[in-house]
Amino acid sequence: MPGTYNLFTALVALIGNVSLMSTGEMDPVFSIIGTGLFWGYYRTLRRYPSLPKWAIGTLTSTTFIIFLINLYINRDLFISVAQMTLIFQTIKSFDIKDPWDPLQVFFMSLLQLLMASELTNTIYFGIVFVVFVIFFVISIVFGHFVKEGQGAFRLYQKPIVFITIVTIILTIAFFVSLPRFRSSLWGQSFSKGIKTSGFSDKVDFGSFEELKLDETVVMRILITPQVRGPHYLRGMTFDYFDTVAWYDTLKQSRKIFRTADDFNVDVPPGAKKYEAEIYLEPIDTDVIFTFKRPYKIEAQGFFMRSDNAGSFYMKQKASKRFFYKLYSIDSYYDDNVAMDSYLQFPDDTPSVKKMAEDISAKSDGNLKKAEKIKEYLVSNYRYSLSAGNPPEGSNAIEYFLLKSKKGYCEHFATAMVLMLRSINIPARLVTGFLSSQRNDIGNYYIVRQSDSHSWVETFIDGRWITFDPTPQADISRKSTLLLFLDMMRLNWNRYVVGFSSYDQKKAANYLLGFSKIKIKLPEIPYARIFLVVIVIFILFIAYKTRKKGYVHLKYAAVSAEYIGLRKMISRYGGKITPSSTTDDVFKEAVKVERFDTEEIKRFIDYYRLLRFSGRSDKDLLRDFLQSAKALKKAE
C-alpha cells in the first residue's frame, strides 16, 4: 500500500487513542499500552512485515481476557470497553497488510471518539474532533482510490480537499438543524458530576473545608446591568442544627410548570430588575442557584420545584451542564414559614446565648442587634481554612467562639444564626456561592468550588435580610491568558456543547426576521427550513461538481476516463452497451474510424494495467492521463 495511506491510517488511529486519553478517565497502564501504536506504525511505514497470524490471534485473545478481568475489578462496562480499544489499536498497528485493514482502524477510531464524547466535552475535545473529521474524511476518500488501484495522493488532492470541506460544512449544518435529544447516544450519560457539598438535606458541620481548596470551576455568570461583585448565588436554606450537622426539615414544596420558555416563580413588584445568565457545569446537585430574588427563570425542562424558603430544584439538570437565565429584582424575601422552625436552639450551647446577650445588650431593635453581632464576629475573629477540629467531646461552635477564634464561613454563619436565635430573632443558614472573580475580558464572573459559601438570613420587620459575618478573604488574581482561555471555554460550552432546541428556535427566529415573535415548534417546523436549505446546498454542490468535471467524486479517476471514452465512442456511432468489454470498446473505436487506433490501444492497455493489476505506478498513471488527453484533443 502507498506510504501516504499508511501515514493517514496512523494519524487516525493516534487521534482515536488521544481522544480517550484526554478524558482523564483512562487507566495509565492502558494509556501506556495505547502508545505502542507508534512502534507498530513505524514498522508499517518502514515496510517491515506484519506480525504472524498466530501472534495477532494470541494478543487479541489475551486482550479479551484482560477486558474481562478489568470489567470484574472496575464494574464499569463502558470504561472497560474504552480501555480495550486502546489495546486493539496497538495490536492492529502491527497488522496492516492490505487496503481493507485501515477500515478496521477507522471504525475503531470513530468508536473511540464517540465514547470520548460521553466522557468529556471540553474545548480540547472539540479540537480533537475537528482534526479527526479532517483526517478521517481524507483517509476514507483516499482509501477508495487506493482500493481502485490508484495510490498517487498528489493527483487527487483537489477532490479530496473538496470533499473534506463539503463534509465539514454539512456537519455544521446538521449540528445546527437536527433535533436535540435528552438522552445520550448510549441511552445514558457516563459523565460524572462535580462533587459538591452543602446542597443536600443534611450538611455536616465542617464539610466546606476541602471545597475551599478546590479551584474547579462550577459556573459562570453574566449579569445585566453590570454590577460589581461579589454576588451571592443562593442555593439552599437550613433550619435545624444539632451541633454536628445542619438539616433542612421543611419539606413542603410546589411544582412550577413551564409556560412557553419560562418558569414564572414570583410576581415582580416595582423594584430594580436584573438579568443573570448562568452557565452551570455538571455538578452533582439539582439546586438551581439564584441571584437576588428571581421572579422568572428561563430554562429547558418541563417543571421545577420551589420550597417556602425560596430555593429551587430541577432533578433533570443534576450532573449535567446546564444553562438558564434569571430575571430578578433587588428585593427581600417575605415568605410565610412558621417562625418556630427558625428559633430552634441546641440545648448544650449555653455560652452562645450569654455571649449574644452581652454583645447586643446596648442595641435597640432586632436589626441593630443583628448588625452588632455581625460586626463583632467580623472584627474579633480571623478567617482561616486551618481551623482544625475541636477536642473530642467539645461543642464545635463554643470551641470556635471561645477558644480557637478562627474558622471559615460555616463557623461564622452558624455562630451568628445561633446567637440570633438565642435572643429570639428568627434566622436560618443559607448555602451557595460567593462570586468574586470577574473576567473583564468576557464581562462575567467565574465561580469555583473554593467560592462555596454560607451566610445568614434573619427575619426582621416582616422580611428576610441577608447578613454575612465572615471576614473577607484575599482574592487571587488570574493572568490575562488564563482569563482569555476561560472565556473560550465559556463560549464553547454555551454555543457548542450546550446548543439546545431553544437556541435552534432563536436562530430560526433571527433568520426568518421574527425575532420579536415567539414561535412554537409544533406550529412552525423550523427544522424543515434548515433541511430545505441543506438539500438546496447539496444540489448546488452536485451541479458545480458536474459542471467542473469532477466525475471522479463518484468514480476513481482511471475509471472516469474510461467511462468518458465509452461515451465518446457512442456519440460517434459506436455500439457500446453496459456489458461491453475493453476488447469490444476497442473494436467499436476502430469501426468509428475517427480515433487514432494506436492511441486507443495504448489507452486501453494502460487502463487494464491500472484498473486490474493493482499497480499504482506514478509514471504509468501519468502516461494514461496523457493518452486520455490526446484522445480528447483528437475528438
The mean pLDDT value for 375-390 works out to 85
Residue-wise pLDDT for 68-114, tens only, equals 999 988 888 889 999 999 999 999 999 988 778 888 899 999 999 98
Examine the domain organization and report whether 117 and 246 are in the same domain: no
> E-assigned strands of 94-227?
202-204, 217-224
Q: Is residue 512 part of a domain?
A: no
Examine the domain organization and report whether 229 and 98 are in the same domain: no
Asked if pLDDT for residue 526 goes beyond 90, the answer is no
The pLDDT-based confidence of 23 (bands split at 50, 70, 90) is confident
Q: At what angle do helices 123-147 and 3-21 cross, to 10 degrees?
A: 150
Examine the domain organization and report whether 463 and 423 are in the same domain: yes
Q: Is residue 107 part of a domain?
A: yes
- CB 530 within 8 Å of CB 173: yes
Taking CA 36 as the corner, what is the angle to CA 30 and CA 42, rounded to the nearest 5 degrees? Answer: 165
DSSP 197-256: SS-SSEEETTTTTTGGG---EEEEEEEES---S-EEEEEEEE-EE-SSEEE-----EEEE
Most confident of 279-283, 467-471, 537-541: 467-471
**Amino acid 513: pLDDT:** 60
The mean pLDDT value for 304-320 works out to 81
* Final residue in a domain of this structure, among 437, 462, 480: 480
The mean pLDDT value for 251-278 works out to 75
For residue 121, the number of C-alpha atoms closer than 13 Å in the C-beta half-sphere is 22
**Amino acid 635: pLDDT:** 66
Contacts of 456 (CB under 8 A, 6+ apart): 374, 413, 416, 417, 420, 427, 428, 429, 430, 466, 467, 468, 469
Q: Is residue 510 part of a domain?
A: no
CA-to-CA dists, residue 72 to 66, 67, 232, 360, angstroms: 10, 9, 46, 63
Mean of all residue pLDDT scores within the chain: 80
Give residue 135's region: left, alpha or beta (phi > 0; psi -120 to 50): alpha
Asked if pLDDT for residue 517 goes beyond 80, the answer is no
**Amino acid 522: pLDDT:** 45
The pLDDT-based confidence of 514 (bands split at 50, 70, 90) is very low
Least confident of 162-176, 282-296, 322-336, 500-514: 500-514
Most confident of 188-202, 342-356, 502-516, 602-616: 342-356
Least confident of 142-156, 325-339, 414-428, 602-616: 142-156
Q: Is residue 189 part of a domain?
A: no
For residue 106, the number of C-alpha atoms closer than 13 Å in the C-beta half-sphere is 21
**Amino acid 270: pLDDT:** 64
Q: Which residue has the higher pLDDT, 243 or 515?
A: 243
Examine the domain organization and report whether 459 and 592 are in the same domain: no
Most confident of 444-453, 572-581, 605-614: 444-453
Examine the domain organization and report whether 148 and 221 are in the same domain: no
Distance between CA atoms of 569 and 632, rounded to whole angstroms?
11
Q: Is residue 375 part of a domain?
A: yes
User: How many independent structural domains does the chain possess?
Assistant: 3
**Amino acid 420: pLDDT:** 94
Helix, strand or coil, per DSSP, at residue 318: coil
The mean pLDDT value for 45-54 works out to 90
**Amino acid 210: pLDDT:** 64
Question: Is 168 exposed, middle or buried (CB count within 10 Å of its CB: 0-12, 13-18, 19+)?
Answer: middle
Examine the domain organization and report whether 108 and 251 are in the same domain: no
Most confident of 323-337, 380-394, 455-469: 455-469
The pLDDT-based confidence of 554 (bands split at 50, 70, 90) is very low
Range(s) of the domain holding residue 89: 3-177
DSSP assignment letter at 316: G
Q: Which residue has the higher pLDDT, 47 or 144?
A: 47
- CB 171 within 8 Å of CB 299: no
Examine the domain organization and report whether 277 and 319 are in the same domain: yes
Q: At what angle do helices 350-360 and 366-380 cross, to 10 degrees?
A: 110
The pLDDT-based confidence of 432 (bands split at 50, 70, 90) is very high
- Give me Rg for the CA atoms of the chain: 35
**Amino acid 261: pLDDT:** 67
Residue 226 burial (CB count, 10 A): 11
Helix, strand or coil, per DSSP, at residue 455: strand
**Amino acid 16: pLDDT:** 93
Contacts of 322 (CB under 8 A, 6+ apart): 280, 282, 299, 300, 498
Residue-wise pLDDT for 176-221, tens only, equals 666 655 555 444 455 566 777 667 778 877 766 666 677 888 899 9
Examine the domain organization and report whether 153 and 222 are in the same domain: no
Q: Is residue 442 part of a domain?
A: yes
Distance between CA atoms of 451 and 447, rounded to whole angstroms?
6
For residue 98, the number of C-alpha atoms closer than 13 Å in the C-beta half-sphere is 5
Examine the domain organization and report whether 143 and 207 are in the same domain: no
The mean pLDDT value for 50-70 works out to 92
The pLDDT-based confidence of 507 (bands split at 50, 70, 90) is low
Most confident of 131-140, 367-376, 532-541: 367-376
* Final residue in a domain of this structure, among 480, 510, 533: 480
The mean pLDDT value for 455-467 works out to 90
Contacts of 571 (CB under 8 A, 6+ apart): none
Asked if pLDDT for residue 524 goes beyond 60, the answer is no
Examine the domain organization and report whether 336 and 276 are in the same domain: yes
Examine the domain organization and report whether 467 and 369 are in the same domain: yes
* Final residue in a domain of this structure, among 480, 506, 535: 480
Q: Is residue 501 part of a domain?
A: no
Most confident of 328-337, 338-347, 421-430, 579-588: 421-430
Distance between CA atoms of 451 and 196, rounded to whole angstroms?
11
Strand order in the sheet with 245-247: 202-204, 245-247, 240-241
Examine the domain organization and report whether 172 and 238 are in the same domain: no
Q: Which residue has the higher pLDDT, 210 or 8?
A: 8
The mean pLDDT value for 461-480 works out to 81
The mean pLDDT value for 406-435 works out to 91
**Amino acid 153: pLDDT:** 61
Distance between CA atoms of 436 and 445, rounded to whole angstroms?
7
**Amino acid 483: pLDDT:** 82
pTM above 0.75, yes or no: no
**Amino acid 85: pLDDT:** 93
Q: Is residue 413 part of a domain?
A: yes
